[in-house]
Structure 1
Amino acid sequence: MSILSSIGRLATEFSAARARYQTERAIHALPIELQKDIGWPEAADAKTGMRYGVGAWAGAK
């Protein structure tokens, strides 16, 4: 594995993680009722204060 392929892989993972974060942020900006309508899993936990994020920036392997 060359250094360029490693850098490319890291850049791809970072880009995907950033897209997930931006999507999560946009969905959290919606009203709770709308989040429930689209089936966002965290809408049910909003009352308890529990929040599950996307995890590590590199994602699960």
Structure 2
Amino acid sequence: MSILSTIGRIAAEYSAARSRYLTERQVRSLPAEIQKDIGWPDAYATPRTPRFQSGSWAGDK
């Protein structure tokens, strides 16, 4: 892997994580009734994996 592809992969991971964070933040700001209507609490009822697993930045995928 070249350094540019590594930087590109890291940038893509960061962008995806940021997008997920912003979406989650917007949905959580909605009233509870709307969150319930769209099934928001149920979507994350199961335990989630960490956003950044160990080694994800080092290329250990």
**TM-score under structure 1 normalisation?**
0.69
The question of 1:55 aligning with 2:61 is answered: no
Measured against aligned partners, the alpha-carbon deviations of 1:6-46 in whole angstroms (never above 9, x if no partner) come to 0000000000000000000000100111000001026xx7x
Q: Could you tell me how far apart the structure 1 residues matched to 2:32 and 2:38 are?
A: 10
Quote the residue 2:13 is aligned against.
13
- The amino acid across from 1:55 in the alignment is P
Higher relative contact order at CA 8 Å, sep ≥6: structure 1 or structure 2? 1
- The amino acid across from 1:27 in the alignment is V
In the TM superposition, what is the alpha-carbon distance from 1:55 to its structure 2 partner? 3.3
Q: Across the two proteins, how many residue pairs are aligned to each other?
A: 52
In the TM superposition, what is the alpha-carbon distance from 1:54 to its structure 2 partner? 7.4
Aligned-CA RMSD value: 2.7
Quote the residue 1:49 is aligned against.
none
Query: Where does the alignment leave 5 or more consecutive residues of structure 1 unmatched?
Result: 46-51
